[in-house]
Every structure is written in C-alpha cells, then in structure tokens.
Structure 1
Amino acid sequence: MDWHLQSLDVDFYSQPTIDLAKSLLGCILVKETKDGITSGFIVETEAYLGEYDQAAHSYRNRRTKRTEIMFDQPGMVYTYTMHTHCLVNVVSGKVNQPEAVLIRAVEPYRGIHIMLQRRPVKKFQNLTSGPGKLTKALGITMEDYGQSFLEPPLYIAKGKKPGKIAQGKRIGIDNSGEARDYPYRFWIPNNPFVSK
C-alpha cells in the first residue's frame, strides 16, 4: 500500500448517494497491480439513485448478474463494460437499496509513468479524463467487480477537499426519460481532467 495513503472506512460510504458523490471529489483512487501502484484525485462523479432513477442499471430494482453487487453494502466495487470500456462505480445506499456513484474522471497522482505505458496519449490531460480512460490507465478491470473499496488492491483514500463543486446533468444517458435532466453530475470546476 502507498505508505501515506489509508483507505477510507465504511462510515464514509454510508452517507446518502448524492452526498457521497460530492464527498468523493478530491479523494484519491488507488489501484495496486504487479506493475506497481497508480492513483489519481477524483475530479468528476455521477450519482445513480437506483429504483427510482431511470438512468440507473438497477432502475425498478432490476436484479441481474451484472447489478447484483449494487444490492450489497456500500463501499463495494461495481464495474461493468460499456463499448469495450470498463467503468468503475462505488456501491452506495443501504443493503437492497441499489445505488451507486460512477467515477468519471481523475487527475493523475502517483505512478504516472505506468499510466502512460497503458494509455499513451499526445495530450496529457486526455490520460484519465473519462470513465473508460481512467480505468485503463489505472489498471482497473472487470476482475475488480464485487471487491471492497476498503482494502487493496483497489481502494479510495482521503485527499484534498475541493474549494468549489460544480453540478449539472449527467452525460450519455439520453434514453432515460426525465432522469436525463437530473443534476446528479458533480465535478471540480476548471480542473483540466474533467471529461467535458
């Protein structure tokens, strides 16, 4: 484990999903692999409120092999594949209240040389400025599904609290009825690694 990074405890993940989505901003997402440790400051998140949120995979309590972990305790890892990209979410809400927070972007912190080997980019700000980009750079895969963020190899540590938080509509969910207009996306203003 990165010597000065300690994973956040379960109480942190037990807060309401919208609050968690904001609280994750500035925290450090860490992944340990055989290549070494990579990490980044979380700069963008999206909240998905389960049963009543048409944009959520667990809308109407849809329980499938893919969404099963969303019904577990908060602080679990929910990964899924979209357009060949692996996306990573933090399970939130109480047990059997399937909610989650998508980590949309991070600002590279440690292990940048490893990230650049995995994702060679011409513009550095493109390295982790999107949910599929950050997982490839950090080495987060579908094998992380169902694990806990409370301990390595994939965990979240306390970082630096942002001075301001911006809020707006989520991205890429046009076919989700009125849910497409919910202001459940949060980001650190003016950070170059925010996805859009």
Structure 2
Amino acid sequence: MKQNSLLQPLKEESFQKNTLELAQALLGCVLVNETPDGITSGVIVETEAYMGPGDRAAHSYSNKRTKRTEIMFGKSGLVYTYAMHTHCLVNVVSAGIDEPEAILIRAIEPYSGIELMQKRRPVDQMKNLTNGPGKLTKAMGISMKDYGKRFYERPLYIAEGIVPDEISIGKRIGIGGAGEAQDYPWRFWVKDSPYVSR
C-alpha cells in the first residue's frame, strides 16, 4: 500500500455507484483524517448499507427529512456524522440527490498514526482499538464537526487501497425493531479480518 504521504482522496465520481455496490467497493479503501494533532488512517474492513425511504432501519425511512438527516439528501460522497449514546458514528452519503441513502463505516484496521489513536483511545489489545463504529471515530478524532464535509477532499477523506481477496455478507447489527429490515444482508466485511466488529 502507498505511504500515507502519497495517499490521495478518491475522485468525486468514485462515490457515484449503487449504494450496495459502493458499500462493498469501500472495503480495502483507506479512511484518513488530517488533524492539528496529527494524521491517522485505517483500512476500511466493515460497512453497512442503509437504503433510504424504503428501509425501516435507515434514518431517512419514509423520506424523513430532519436537521440530522438533511445531508443524506445531498450528493454522494458527503460526510454524515450522527451521535448515538455517547458516540459519534460516520457514514458516507450515497445514491443521488434527494435519494437519502448512506453507508456506515463500522470498522477499520489501523494503518498510520497508531500511537495517536492509542492516545485518544487506550486499549489493551490492538484489535479493540477500531473494531466498531464508535471506536474508530474516537481513535481517529472524527466528530460531529465533520458533518457535511466531502470524503473526496482533505482533511477527512477516503483514499484508494487494496481490493480484499474475499468479502463476507450478512445481516446488519443493532437494528432491532426494524421489522424485516433487520434481516436484510446489507453488512459487508473483509473475511477473516480481526478488526471486524463481531
């Protein structure tokens, strides 16, 4: 993989894919955050797709447009952050304008700036550093202030990585009460990665 200094944001058109296709294409790509404290990055190893108005698990179910979900109605490649309990979670807005779909980045494998990640989020085992959507944002310094940024521009961006050898597919996690939507196979992960959330 390229050294961090050579990593470049994906082009805007790279995000213009069907949401389920993009959720899989993001696996192996590198999530990078350049902050005043330093640069951190990690290989995306797990994603979940949320398919908009017809998906009972999506924040935009029934075309619900609120201050929180407004960014989901924008163009593909925008940053959608939201708070859950005490955590900030980060998503890639997908589909087209007024098609409010998104992809949750669930887990990454640390790539650079690991000491800074550990300072932000001390853990006993490396695999626990970023193996969950709230864990990775804390380790990488991603916050609600990143809402509305563009993943194809610095400082918070996604860069090209290495295509995984094999991708696993299964049900999404933690969406009880979503009816039949909780059984949709819209979670994708790099097979055998120790950093997958579960």
TM-score range, shorter chain: over 0.9
Moved over 4 A (4+): none
Deviations 1:142-182 (CA, angstroms, capped at 9, x unpaired): 00001111111100000010010000000000110100000
Question: Is 1:72 matched up with 2:97?
Answer: no
Aligned equivalent of 1:87: 89
**What RMSD in Å do the two structures reach over aligned CA positions?**
0.9
Deviations 1:43-92 (CA, angstroms, capped at 9, x unpaired): 00000000100000000110000000000000000000001100000000
TM-score, normalisation: structure 1? 0.99
Give, as a single letter, the amino acid of the residue that structure 2 aligns with 1:156: I
Q: Secondary structure at the match of 2:76?
A: coil
Stretches of structure 2 that go unaligned for 5 or more consecutive residues are none
Distance 1:60 1:10 in 2: 28
Give, as a single letter, the amino acid of the residue that structure 1 aligns with 2:100: P
Aligned equivalent of 1:189: 191
Aligned residues: 196
Aligned equivalent of 1:170: 172
Aligned equivalent of 1:25: 27
Aligned equivalent of 1:138: 140
Instruction: Report the alpha carbon displacement of residue 3 of structure 1 after superposing the two structures with TM.
Output: 2.1
TM-score, normalisation: structure 2? 0.98
Q: Secondary structure at the match of 1:173?
A: coil
Stretches of structure 1 that go unaligned for 5 or more consecutive residues are none
Distance 2:67 2:23 in 1: 24
Distance 2:54 2:188 in 1: 20
Q: Secondary structure at the match of 1:117?
A: helix
Distance 1:147 1:135 in 2: 15
